[in-house]
Amino acid sequence: VPCVTGSVVPSQSCQCLAWKPRPVGLWGAESQHVVAGYSDGTVRVFSVSRTEMELKMHPHAAALTAITYSTDGEMILSGGRDGIVAVSSPRTGMTIHVLADHKGSPITGLQCTRKQHHDLGVEGGELWLASSSDRRVSVWASDWLRDTCELLDWLSFPAPAGPEGFDSLPPSLAAFCPWEHGVLVYVGFGMQKEALFYSLRKKQVLRKISLPAFATSLSLSPAAPFMAIGF
């Protein structure tokens, strides 16, 4: 049973969580919110200071597998086990976009970044990416004020024949590289156990780092060129 400082949702499994980005100049529990994705396809927003649910939305027909806020906190991006990605407004409770590009493969990760879209010469407020269990990554440029999402790149990484079913394979994970703009890092089941650095400008893999095993988790340091990888 998920618990956010006392707020519980019985009978549902909480599959993923994310903190709302802190508004500039604000600090403390009063400005803190958590968004959670559930096994029944619902998204719930909780206030930390009031220890209660503020909003419930139902943008998915399948269980959620990934969730995040846009960098300004004005949109919620959620991904389901059926591969559907939804973009919803926590202000209105409305779902703005439903994207079926990854349909049929569980979403394994979602990430937004504001810092890198200017480097690629694209319009919009920020870049975001979605990764799915079939080793595909989509990269989007979005302008939330205009409700636009433009597909910027579509990556598909090769792999040998593996066991049936996504659950038996290592997850496909991708993240924008904070210290190398226009580059994303990818790990997942593939031809080799490695981390790949892909350039969105050159549309190619720049380099590879060998790993001792297939990764199951990935996090990039925002302050220095370090990667934390779990196996």
Q: Residue 18: is its pLDDT beyond 80?
A: yes
Q: Are 130 and 113 in contact (CB under 8 A)?
A: no
Q: Residue 202: is its pLDDT beyond 50?
A: yes
DSSP reduced 3-state for 118: helix
Per-residue pLDDT, averaged over 138-162, amounts to 89
Q: Which residue has the higher pLDDT, 219 or 161?
A: 219
How many Cβ atoms sit within 10 Å of the Cβ of residue 5? Answer: 14
- Residue 124 pLDDT level (bands cut at 50, 70, 90): low
Q: Residue 216: is its pLDDT beyond 50?
A: yes
Q: Which residue has the higher pLDDT, 41 or 4?
A: 41
Q: Mind listing the pLDDT tens digit for each residue in 95-115?
A: 999 999 999 999 999 999 986
- CA dist 171 and 164 (Å) reads 14
- CA dist 87 and 57 (Å) reads 11
Whole-angstrom CA distances from 150 to 41, 42, 126, 146, 229 are 25, 25, 11, 12, 30
Q: Residue 6: is its pLDDT beyond 60?
A: no
What was the pLDDT predicted at 11? 77
pTM of the model: 0.88
Closest CA to 95 of 149, 31, 164: 149
- The distance in angstroms from the start CA to the end CA of the chain is 27
Cα angle: 226, vertex 229, 231; to 5 degrees: 160
- CA dist 225 and 13 (Å) reads 35
Burial 135-146 (b: 16+ CB within 10 A, else e): bbbbbbbbebee
**What torsion do the CA atoms of 52, 98, 140, 176 make, to the nearest 10 degrees?**
40
Per-residue pLDDT, averaged over 167-194, amounts to 92
Q: Residue 1: is its pLDDT beyond 50?
A: no
**Domains in the chain: ranges and CATH:** 14-19+32-225 (2.130.10.10)
Burial 160-169 (b: 16+ CB within 10 A, else e): eeeeeebeeb
- CA dist 79 and 35 (Å) reads 13
Q: Residue 121: is its pLDDT beyond 80?
A: no
- CA dist 70 and 128 (Å) reads 8
- CA dist 162 and 46 (Å) reads 40
Per-residue pLDDT, averaged over 140-160, amounts to 89
The DSSP secondary-structure symbol of 144 reads G
pLDDT mean across residues, the chain:
89
- Residue 22 pLDDT level (bands cut at 50, 70, 90): confident
Q: Residue 120: is its pLDDT beyond 80?
A: no
